[in-house]
Structure 1
């Protein structure tokens, strides 16, 4: 016999033994025994039933998963305990007639409350843990409360029970008693109707008689009890116990057939599951294990209670707390490990590709830099070729010139050299930047003027300060200045230059005293008098940027 079945048989035998012992305490002839012994048997009988239903309540708490269902089942169990306790007080104490009748009326508190709880129970069993009963389900308590109030006040109207005076425990049923019984029957039928509607699973439908049979037997018993059948009175005369046992049997049948979710059946579940699962207690002792689950060392089980444990290269052990212990499951991470290996390989391959791409980019960057340098060198060579040729010619003349001409020739070479240096600088800046400081133009003009002064030319200048000039405009301005200077070179006596940023353009003014004709070098030059030339020119550009000069 399987362990679970053996445990069920043992529990069933224990319950049957308690019920049989309590039943014998009632039906065995005790008239010849001392009164104290008879009272002890009655108290023992009550204690057995109280212990039985209290233990069943503890079992319900441990086995029921759904918190709302657990609460409703425990309320049913509490009403049963209340019913047995009231019955014990009624029959074990010598109470006055008024108290005796009131204790009898209190029977109807569980009789009217348990059916309502059963209806609410079947409404809740297949719902989520956050489910709350609807308004009409909560309103079921209203008829029960009204009927209970009518029962408790029966001494005033006697429409539930018609009492004989003086009170001798004999009575007749009134018309309100029919309402009480009818409401109980309606709630029971409503509960089973809801169960039948919800149980679409054929397997559960086949097992539905398990909770229904005790209710049918209870209905038959109630009818026979109401007709005061002597045999029923003799052997099953304790209506309270019969009602409680049949109700508990019906609810237990609902748990056994799966209508009510219970925290049992782990052995069967683990037997058919394909997962590697174990149930262990808090000390690491294995309660049950699935067929696919391998046994694990207790130390690893205890470590897994606090976090994930790696059993081997391809298996992880994880856990989750359950009541009384932990559920452990083994996760196969072979696919994850393979994916990680592939990721490592891809990462290595990508790193190699990135290295090659970086090297290719670096080579390409250097090639592009060389190309740009060559382009700039070609540009400078084209732009400065006239000055280079003329400088070469001057140096050639310098070698054969008399001493008195050499100083003048060196001055002209210095002027051309200054332009080669500063003009090339401005051209480079114009290729790389949109704007340049106005100081760059001033430095260029100052160096050219210094070279002219070495050649004996009187010079003066005025250059705008504190702005960033368009680079192309600055380079063009200096180039125009050099054209005029080279046109008068060798015959230049005096020079005044002014470069001012105004009206969104760079304005150039030159005043030159020379005996040369500047029209050939600069067509825009105007001769104001013999030997006196003036040039007004401008170079367009965007708005200057503020900055240092």
Structure 2
């Protein structure tokens, strides 16, 4: 569905007003012979009111019209604040600073109102969205209040020269500012996801790239603003002006490609619709009908409101529904459906038997897949613990004749057995879920150290942090721990293990006093490299220091 001629003309006027505002700023910047902020305000105000007229004319749902109209009024308020700040308030004054802080009221709430607007997609006009969505006003208000109270805590903007010598061009961004930017970004992404999922016309979803253009322009402008404040685009449009344009352009793109429902080119929709449909007024005159619509009478349309009517010897189904000012009706060719119903009636018994056979085959396939997965799991467990099983087998097959040596061998076998048991348990968890609780890794190390103490080795374990680790991270950490323990026995006399876990990293540090063997720095090189980890080992005064560092990237650990 294309935009109407009126819509295209008004959109063009809005864009031209914005470009004229940029041209006025350039003239004022380079020649400085007149006060241009008030002129820019008038241009933006005119374009905002044109857009409000567009919203009232085209949008179907009252709540969406109201939200976006308030959004447009907030943009006018934003531009008014900026004009007052630069035209009527002294530079560096207390009032100018607070006018600057007030920018963030329309900036933050506009995006929230845009988000509320898209929540109405796919809902009847008389069915409002859940009141629980109003809870989003709370974080929005907290972010705004955090910026408005910046003078008390300096967590939004920090002025190196102090408040007395503040400047809106010399400051450091703080926590509340970044939260505000993140909140806006999250809402924009949520808007795109919602309109894409809820759009009822698949063809319109392919045009999702169009509203991304204003967002891309916003990113380009932000980069230019950060790295080149004297660039042409930054000189032509200041941040409030550019963001007002981006907000309106983003929503207008959603409306123009009908990701947000509108009645622009309403008549063209009915004329070119691929379904048989039409609209009749209360006087019985058919105002719109599609090319696929079959001839119908006023009486048939009125009767079809209560019960479906069959036309053309039962080959076409007619239904209608009362709307404001008349009736909407639609027809459907059910010839193929009738033929299929006849065939289905004849083949009912055959299909029932085939369904029973398919169910049996599906169950067999599910069982086969389950057995294959179990076999694969058992193979993985057997392959992972093969070295320990071989060592236990050697200890049992060739027991020492000395009681003391035999006792030490059995204690060492207990360490190997604890590792086999715990590693098998962690592998089972890993196959059921890609994440393993960090507490499971902690319990595994704790149990292994209990058996290490049986060998007469002093063992200490310190654990910090909690959460869920990717399975391969937890398995690698436990494997490194076990390798250090096995290489240190029987000469080692003390071991200290420290496990530190945060949202950004896993750090395993082991100190082993008087180890039997020293691990090479190339130990498990391929496994360590595969997960982007860092492995290091050092020796000093008969003490081996082993470190495994796993960056987790700030995601779920």
Specify the TM-score bucket, using the shorter chain as the normaliser.
0.3 to 0.5
* TM-score normalised per structure 1: 0.48
* TM-score normalised per structure 2: 0.47
Larger radius of gyration: 1
